[in-house]
Structure 1
């Protein structure tokens, strides 16, 4: 009888000692393209909210699909203990096309190098990049008018727009 009871209770006791993996530590809360008209550039922005604590030293690694083609754009951000939101902004991008979904892959990596979470999403723009001017409208820390765009301080009759180099 003891052996039967032990053979039933031992597996239950051992399974109770195993760590259950809880919910994912980060939750996707936003994704979009940002077109900065005054500075003539576009970027991806993805936001994640922390819903579970992460070990100190954790990082978020992101691969943004490059709208111009080629290798993905890479970003790595450290996640701090008191941080409740993680904002991931890509390097400047070109060739964004309206209504085309672009892939974003996110990996949450613990301090020991173990993958704690993986997220994949798509970001779709509601505008083409050609809404941006070809050159920044302002320059310098004082937001001065760009002399390449504003000749003698006057705006051109028509602003040249950004073109995709490919």
Structure 2
């Protein structure tokens, strides 16, 4: 009788364990965050990197909301997560009005295929430069990276930089 009772308890515990939601460690770990300034093409973006630390169900997604330094709604990016994907790189759409030493909010959510939130991360990104380091327009254009005629005159580069006066104070 004791053996039979132990088997029933074992079966019950396995069944209950299978029904419980996995509340283990978060599936993604933040490994890097920064602003990327592309001087040649005159744009800046947020870049956030994460490592997968736990498996995620196939069809899961990661969504990042980047604070818009120019004001207005957050910039949103959603990407699929793949079971074998070890590293995740999230790069925002182009941003303007980045100010030196100002913290900008980034919120990241990992969602299961059914929309259930698996993880939420919040962080800030701070730049040691402001957007004034960028030229007013791209220095090169086209697939051959020809000089942008609006930025080069008489053989030299025009000293035109990003106009920060259009940015909120």
Q: What is the TM-score of this pair, normalised by structure 2?
A: 0.86
Task: Tell me which residue corresponds to 1:62.
Answer: 64
Is the deviation greater in 18-27 or in 53-62?
18-27
Q: Structure 1 residue 15: deviation in Å?
A: 10
Q: Distance in 1 between matches of 2:15 and 2:30?
A: 31
Task: Tell me which residue corresponds to 1:6.
Answer: none
Q: Structure 1 residue 26: deviation in Å?
A: 0.3
Name the count of aligned residue pairs.
Answer: 157
Does 2:162 correspond to 1:162?
yes
Q: How does 1:1-166 map to 2 (within 5 A)?
A: 13=13, 17=17, 18-152=20-154, 154-156=155-157, 158-164=158-164, 165-166=166-167
Is the deviation greater in 66-75 or in 12-21?
12-21
Cα-Cα RMSD: 2.2
Q: Distance in 1 between matches of 2:14 and 2:87?
A: 36
* SS of residue matched to 2:153: coil
- Extract unaligned runs of 5+ from structure 2: 1-8
Q: Distance in 2 between matches of 1:161 and 1:126?
A: 17
- Extract unaligned runs of 5+ from structure 1: 1-8
Q: Distance in 2 between matches of 1:65 and 1:98?
A: 15
Q: What is the TM-score of this pair, normalised by structure 1?
A: 0.87
Q: Distance in 2 between matches of 1:159 and 1:36?
A: 17
Q: Distance in 1 between matches of 2:84 and 2:145?
A: 34
Q: Structure 1 residue 151: deviation in Å?
A: 2.0
Q: Distance in 1 between matches of 2:69 and 2:112?
A: 29
Q: Distance in 1 between matches of 2:14 and 2:143?
A: 63
* SS of residue matched to 1:82: coil
Q: Which deviations, in whole Å up to 9, do the C-alpha atoms of 1:18-45 show, x marking residues without a partner?
A: 3441100000000000000000000000
Runs of 4+ with >6 A deviation: none
Q: Structure 1 residue 81: deviation in Å?
A: 1.6
Q: Distance in 1 between matches of 2:15 and 2:133?
A: 58
